Amino acid sequence: MILQESPYLLYSDGKGNIFEDTSLYTIGRTGWDAIPVPEGDWIELPDGGSLYELPGRRGIGLDVKTGEMRLCEKGWAVAAFIPPAYTGLYLAAYESEPGAPLLPLFCYTAAGWHNDKFYVPAVRVEQDIRQECRGYNDNSIQSGLEQLLNAYPHNRLVKHLADNCCNTYHCPAARNYFMGRWECPVPSSPACNANCVGCISFQPEDEAIPATQDRLTFKPTPEEIVEFTVPHLQTAPFPLVSFGQGCEGEPLLMWETIGKAIREIRKHTPNGSININTNGSKPAAVQALCEAGLNSIRVSTNSARKHVYEAYYRPNNYSFEDIVESLKVVRRYNGWTSINYFVFPGMTDSVEEYEALRKLIKDTDLSMIQWRNFNIDPDWYMGKIGQYETGEYIGVKQLMELIHEEFPQVKYGYFNPPAERIHGNYETDFAHW
Ligand code: SF4
């Protein structure tokens, strides 16, 4: 339901209890600015969302009587982690006290309280329900897991997907694999040629935040990859297999292995889509994979601007131009190309970024934008990439509307589409209730 007035600000007592402050309306943050959120942008916190207390931080709100902006002194600030398929439009607005601890690698969207419900400024960009928490059944996951571990007793990858991805990290993609449906994750690379500030699989010892999952420790063989992916492509609804997962480094560093696996997979089945999630650093390797039978690519980026990209990715021996070239290569092979676009209000919707994004879409004939929430401490991110000024911004929702108006062929979403959706009816051919 869309709200017709601002919700009240939320605060926590530091013990995990959250309260509303009815003397303050909650507002949002974009870049370094705290600003009111347009009423029409608030939606109920979707199922699967969660709330965080932000230690050492005071929420900023609008006094319900005077309209003045002021801090909530009653407790710590609160933010929302919104579930996949939704994109946050404003960050949580707060002021950090000296010594406030670094926030872990999650997204921190504004949140408020109204009529006994939590609200967030967000839009649903993806209708595919593959990661909706009500769709998971623990019993069928565990029975699927046992069955597949028995079917592939010597397969290190299936064991990694079972023990680490499914049972430790509760990875939605791994859980779908063990339920025999949709997207199957295929991690393959223990190493990476980038040094992202907010890497979720590796954080240097001198950084104060942990990686959210440990990186793969072995190099799978083509045989190990083929063994469990072919049956998945042959039997799963809307099947796709995706190289490049959160629990590994950069899959393009394993392109020879992946290429051999793709060729072998396609000897056994034409079904489904074979995708790679990547930093796009090696266009020549991407070309070799297209030759082998790769169907789609998703290149991750925090920006369509070279200097903003390189300040965050800190690439080893590659540059922003390489990731652009990788997108072009896949289009030359008539493949599907997406950007995994880390949305940061104030940066993503700055006028400079908007112009750069328009250029990227034109130069690469991009197929899709996956508008992903950026899982990172906002102050830390901006400080690390040296962004102390964000310039003029247009609003994330307006940015989405402007891009859609100019490039109606570019699809929006949150997940890699199956072959049925790419070649069929984009509006209907995917997983839904
Ligand atoms: S490209 Fe991926 S694995 Fe490599 S540093 Fe960045 S987030 Fe980490």
What is the per-residue pLDDT for 4?
Answer: 59
What is the per-residue pLDDT for 3?
Answer: 64
Q: Atom 6 in ligand 1: which residue has the minimum CA distance? A: 196
Query: How does 207-227 read in b/e, with b if 16+ C-beta sit within 10 Å?
Result: eeeebbbebbeeebbbebbbb
Q: Atom 3 in ligand 1: which residue has the minimum CA distance? A: 249
What is the per-residue pLDDT for 432?
Answer: 78
What is the per-residue pLDDT for 73?
Answer: 97
Q: How far apart are CA 1 and CA 22, in angstroms?
A: 21
What is the per-residue pLDDT for 426?
Answer: 87
SS3 content of the chain, % helix, strand, coil (to 5): 30, 25, 45
State pLDDT tens for residues 134-184: 999 999 999 999 999 999 999 999 999 999 999 999 999 999 999 999 999
Distance 247 CA to ligand 1 centre (A): 10
Distance 17 CA to ligand 1 centre (A): 35
Across the range 247-272, mean pLDDT stands at: 97
Distance 251 CA to ligand 1 centre (A): 10
Q: pLDDT class for 411, splitting at 50, 70, 90? A: very high
State pLDDT tens for residues 30-51: 999 999 999 899 999 999 999 9
Distance 382 CA to ligand 1 centre (A): 18
Q: What is the pTM for the complete model shown?
A: 0.96
Across the range 401-411, mean pLDDT stands at: 98
Distance 209 CA to ligand 1 centre (A): 15
User: Cβ distance 350 to 387 under 8 Å?
Assistant: no
Q: pLDDT class for 389, splitting at 50, 70, 90? A: confident
Crossing angle for the helix pair 396-406 and 351-364, nearest 10 degrees?
Answer: 30
Which atom of ligand 1 approaches the CA of 193 most closely? 4
What is the per-residue pLDDT for 425?
Answer: 85
Instruction: Report the residue among 207, 247, 279 best suited for mutation to probe ligand 1: largest number of ligand atoms under 8 A from its CB.
Output: 279
Ordered domains of the chain (ranges, CATH): 8-124 (no CATH), 133-423 (3.20.20.70)
Q: What lines the ligand 1 site, CB under 6 Å?
A: 192, 194-196, 199, 201-202, 249-250, 279
State pLDDT tens for residues 189-209: 999 999 999 999 999 888 888
Which atom of ligand 1 approaches the CA of 248 most closely? 3
Mean pLDDT of the chain: 96
Residue 7, pLDDT > 60, answer yes
Which atom of ligand 1 approaches the CA of 215 most closely? 3
Q: pLDDT class for 258, splitting at 50, 70, 90? A: very high
Distance 26 CA to ligand 1 centre (A): 34
| Residue ranges in 152-273 assigned as alpha helix (H) | 156-160, 172-178, 222-235, 255-268
For the chain, give me the number of helices (H) and strands (E)?
A: 12, 21
Across the range 67-81, mean pLDDT stands at: 97
CA angle 324–358–246, rounded 5-degree value: 50
Q: How far is CA 138 from CA 141, 145, 179, 353, in A?
A: 5, 10, 9, 42
Which atom of ligand 1 approaches the CA of 313 most closely? 6
Report the candidate in 195, 12, 27 with the shortest Cα–Cα distance to residue 111: 27
Q: How far apart are CA 301 and CA 305, in angstroms?
A: 10
